[in-house]
Every structure is written in structure tokens, then in C-alpha cells.
């Protein structure tokens, strides 16, 4: 008897993450002995700071090895609430905080709690690859608002107002942005707030996971606008700013009417997060940020190096990212070009050409809603970036 291999329709609606696909291809080529430089994953190459690791060891020694509360340990939620009260005077309590297994998990809880079949979610493009996929998994529909390199990949308040409808259920955006590194200023966020006031049924999701990787000053957030707090969700975590990707901890700061159902969803899927990670995350959130600031200095050096290196190829159109650790480059000038052994019709062709010829792994922009672009992660050493840029420029020079 043949096995019934039908899958749930929600699986059919999903596609493989392009960032993870390129990371997988890179690993496979490395296993074949090929010298691949991987610039595809958004993972800091630094070690987690020592004082954070020490906090984890202390937690194990003190017996924090049992099931934690679903919402997270109270002392961690208190530390997160204090952070937002001190910085933005939000007036939140631990009941406004839910700790999850990474910011991706936080987003999944949120979308599964609020989005029903057919609900519309507006997402500015370029966007992080997972936003539309999670909406699809929940049965929602996605509309995008596009912003190209000529406007620093940032939408305007006018575009936002034109795109929103009274029944749009949710908006999801990030600042600093993955994949572009663009950062919305305080004035730009204030103009968004004016628009949001016209759409009282809209839930606003601000992904601020790159909060500490900001080259232009203090992080700006919609948290500042008190009249939005009853429908504003801040998504954050410790992966990027503290080099804690493998520790897996994210969180939301949100009104209780949203935190409650998210906690209910999480309770049935994973229960609480990692107990040891929570103690390490508390040490990270409460520290003086000196380690995070040292990493920021290095990321800025890398950004500036690549901007100068790629300026030698005028067909690459770039902005100057103000945060995160990505370059998002418009490479449409290469469409229709050829080398002796390749023909480039789109971004997918170009990244596979660069993988084959330059042995550098990147991600094509279609995964982020911008098919004319590619994303480079500069979470790698300057030595690797110098070698990678030399290889890329040589391979591009052969395309005519």
C-alpha cells in the first residue's frame, strides 16, 4: 500500500529561506575543498562577550536548569521593561514583555495570534525574508510598498498613507533594516506616526533587532509616541548587538491584549525559552554596552571599506547604510551582460555566477522583495572582505 504523502497547505505556501539556502550551498562547496567566502548569513563573527558567558555559567552553577515560566523569568522581563521605561518613558511592566526563542519566534507568535485567513499585512520592501512567509503560514495576505536605492530604500509617509487601508490589520517594518542597513530618523518616524493616527485598527510591528548597530547616533523608535502604545509591538532580542545568535532569545514589548494571546500560542508550541540563555540575556541587557560599542566600531570600518572598494565598479548602485551590517546593492546594470561562460538575466544568475567564479556567497534581492538587488553581509573580518571584494570585482569586470 502506497503512503499518502499529502502535506498541509500551509507548507505549500512557504518557500525555502534564500539566506539559509545560500549558507547551505556554501557549506556544501566548502566540504568539496573549495575556498568559499560566505557573506550570506546575518551573523556577527564576534564571540559573545565574556561577562555574558560568565552569567550563563553562574546560572548553571546556581541550578537554573529547570523549566522556566512560559513568558520568561520575571527578573529578565523586569530588566527589559526598565530598559524601555528608562529610554522611552513607555510606562510598561513585566506583563508587557514576552520572551521567546529568538526574534523570529517572537514574530511567529505575534502573527499567529493576530492574523486570520485573508487579513492584510502591509510590508515595506525591501523586507526581511521571513515576514511574508510567516504571514502566508497564518493565511494572511501581503501587500508591499517599494522603496529603491534612490530613496535610501526607505518609504515615505506619503507612500505609507497611500498604501494603508482602514482594514489593513498589521504593518511590519525594521529599523535599522535587514537587508538594507537603512535607518529611519526621528522626523521620519514622527511623520509615520501622523499617518498611523488615521488608521486606528492597524497593529504596528517595529522590528528593532539591530538597535545597537547604528552608525548615526541614538536609536530612534516609535516607542516615543505614547498615543500609539495600545497597538505598537516592539520586536527585539540579543542576537545581533551582543553576538548571541546561537543563544536564541528574542522578545516583544507590547500591550497586554497582545502579550496574552502570544503567550498562549507559545505555551502550546515551545513553552518557555532556554533558562540559561535568559540569565545571560539579563547580563547583556543590563551591561554598559562597551562590548557592543566595540563591535559597532568594527562594523563601521567594514562598511566603509566595502563602500570604497565597490565604488571602483560604477555599475554597482549603493546607498550608504546607517546601521546593521549589510550592503544592499542594485545590480540591474548587469542584466543582459555576458562572460565567456555565463549569461546574466537576473539577480539569481549573478549571485550564482559570483559563487561559481569568485567563490563568494551572497543572497539575491528577490528574497527581500527587490529582484534588482543582492545583499552582502559584512559580518566577516576585514581580511575576508578584502579578498572577497577583489574576487567580486574581478568577476564583474568580465561581464560585458
Q: What is the model's pLDDT at position 103?
A: 97
For residues 128 and 206, give the distance between their C-alpha atoms in angstroms, rounded to a whole number: 12
Identify whether 276 is part of a domain. Answer: yes
Identify whether 3 is part of a domain. Answer: no
Q: Which of 286, 313, 328 is the last residue of a domain?
A: 286
Q: Which domain holds residue 339?
A: 9-47+291-397
Q: What is the model's pLDDT at position 58?
A: 98
For residues 233 and 110, give the distance between their C-alpha atoms in angstroms, rounded to a whole number: 9
> For the purposes of burial, counting CB atoms within 10 Å of the CB of 308, is it exposed (0-12), middle (13-18) or buried (19 or more)?
exposed
Q: Residue 231 carries which DSSP code?
A: G
Find, among 240, 218, 216, the residue nearest to 128 by Cα: 240
Identify whether 274 is part of a domain. Answer: yes
Task: Decide the pairing of beta strands 363-364 and 97-100.
Answer: unpaired
- Let me know whether 309 and 248 are in one domain: no
Identify whether 13 is part of a domain. Answer: yes
E strand or H helix at 251, and its extent?
strand 250-253
- Let me know whether 300 and 242 are in one domain: no
> 10-residue block means of pLDDT along the chain (400 residues)?
86 74 76 88 93 98 97 98 96 98 98 97 97 95 97 98 98 98 98 98 98 95 97 98 97 98 97 97 93 96 98 97 98 96 95 95 94 96 97 97
For residues 273 and 267, give the distance between their C-alpha atoms in angstroms, rounded to a whole number: 10
- Let me know whether 95 and 180 are in one domain: yes
- Let me know whether 32 and 107 are in one domain: no
Give the SS3 label for residue 8: coil
Q: What is the model's pLDDT at position 9?
A: 83
What is the crossing angle of helices 18-31 and 347-357, to 10°? 20
pTM for the model stands at: 0.95
Spatial neighbors of 105 by CB under 8 A, at least 6 apart, are 248, 250, 266, 270
Concatenating the DSSP letter of every residue in 348-397 gives: HHHHHHHHHHT-EE-EEGGGGT-TTEEEEE--S-HHHHHHHHHHHHHHHH
- Let me know whether 17 and 133 are in one domain: no
> Positive or negative, the Cα torsion across 209, 211, 214, 219?
positive
- Let me know whether 337 and 217 are in one domain: no
Identify whether 267 is part of a domain. Answer: yes
Domain count, the chain: 2
Identify whether 73 is part of a domain. Answer: yes
Q: Which of 262, 286, 310 is the last residue of a domain?
A: 286
CATH of the domain at 140: 3.40.640.10
- Let me know whether 61 and 187 are in one domain: yes
- Let me know whether 62 and 82 are in one domain: yes
Q: Which of 240, 255, 286 is the last residue of a domain?
A: 286
CATH of the domain at 379: 3.90.1150.10
Cell representation of residue 357 = 567564479
For residues 263 and 47, give the distance between their C-alpha atoms in angstroms, rounded to a whole number: 31
- Let me know whether 340 and 372 are in one domain: yes
- Let me know whether 345 and 381 are in one domain: yes
- Let me know whether 191 and 338 are in one domain: no
Identify whether 247 is part of a domain. Answer: yes
Asked if 125 contacts 146 with a C-beta cutoff of 8 angstroms, the reply is yes
Q: What is the model's pLDDT at position 208?
A: 98
Identify whether 269 is part of a domain. Answer: yes
For residues 108 and 298, give the distance between their C-alpha atoms in angstroms, rounded to a whole number: 32
Spatial neighbors of 24 by CB under 8 A, at least 6 apart, are none
Find, among 171, 79, 254, the residue nearest to 263 by Cα: 254
Tally Cβ neighbours within 10 Å of residue 329.
24
- Let me know whether 82 and 140 are in one domain: yes
Amino acid at each position: 500500500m502506497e503512503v499518502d504523502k499529502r502535506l498541509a497547505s500551509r507548507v505549500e505556501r512557504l518557500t525555502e529561506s534564500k539566506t539559509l539556502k545560500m549558507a547551505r550551498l556554501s557549506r556544501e562547496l566548502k566540504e568539496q575543498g573549495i575556498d568559499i567566502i560566505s557573506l550570506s548569513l546575518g551573523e556577527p563573527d564576534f564571540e559573545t562577550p565574556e561577562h555574558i558567558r560568565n552569567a550563563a555559567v553562574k546560572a548553571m552553577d546556581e541550578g537554573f536548569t529547570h523549566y522556566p515560566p512560559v513568558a520568561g523569568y520575571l527578573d529578565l522581563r523586569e530588566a527589559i521593561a526598565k530598559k524601555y521605561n528608562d529610554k522611552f518613558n513607555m510606562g510598561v511592566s513585566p506583563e508587557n514583555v514576552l520572551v521567546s526563542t529568538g526574534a523570529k519566534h517572537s514574530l511567529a507568535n505575534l502573527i499567529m495570534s493576530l492574523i486570520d485567513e485573508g487579513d492584510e499585512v502591509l510590508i515595506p520592501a525591501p523586507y526581511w525574508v521571513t515576514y511574508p512567509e510567516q504571514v502566508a503560514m497564518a493565511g494572511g495576505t501581503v501587500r508591499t510598498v517599494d522603496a529603491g536605492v534612490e530613496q535610501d530604500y526607505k518609504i515615505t509617509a506619503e507612500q505609507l498613507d497611500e498604501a494603508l487601508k482602514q482594514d489593513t490589520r498589521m504593518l511590519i517594518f525594521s529599523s535599522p533594516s535587514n537587508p538594507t542597513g537603512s535607518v529611519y530618523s526621528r522626523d521620519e518616524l514622527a511623520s509615520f506616526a501622523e499617518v498611523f493616527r488615521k488608521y486606528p485598527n492597524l497593529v504596528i510591528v517595529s522590528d528593532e533587532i539591530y538597535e545597537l548597530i547604528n552608525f548615526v547616533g541614538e536609536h530612534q523608535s516609535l516607542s516615543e509616541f505614547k498615543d500609539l502604545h495600545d497597538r505598537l509591538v516592539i520586536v527585539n532580542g540579543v542576537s545581533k548587538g551582543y553576538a548571541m545568535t546561537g543563544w536564541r532569545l528574542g522578545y516583544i514589548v507590547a500591550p497586554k491584549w497582545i502579550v496574552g494571546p502570544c503567550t498562549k500560542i507559545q505555551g502550546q508550541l515551545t513553552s518557555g525559552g532556554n533558562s540559561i540563555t535568559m540569565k545571560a540575556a539579563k547580563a547583556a541587557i543590563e551591561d554598559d554596552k562597551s562590548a557592543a560599542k566595540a563591535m559597532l566600531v568594527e562594523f563601521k570600518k567594514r562598511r566603509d571599506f566595502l563602500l570604497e572598494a565597490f565604488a571602483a565598479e560604477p555599475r554597482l548602485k549603493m546607498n550608504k547604510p546607517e546601521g546593521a551590517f549589510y550592503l544592499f546593492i542594485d545590480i540591474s546594470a548587469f542584466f543582459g551582460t555576458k562572460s565567456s561562460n555565463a549569461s546574466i538575466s537576473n539577480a539569481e544568475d549573478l549571485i550564482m555566477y559570483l559563487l561559481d567564479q569568485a567563490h563568494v556567497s551572497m543572497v539575491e534581492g528577490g528574497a527581500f522583495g527587490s529582484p534588482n538587488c543582492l545583499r552582502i553581509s559584512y559580518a566577516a573580518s576585514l581580511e575576508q572582505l578584502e579578498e572577497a571584494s577583489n574576487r567580486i570585482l574581478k568577476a564583474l569586470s568580465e561581464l560585458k
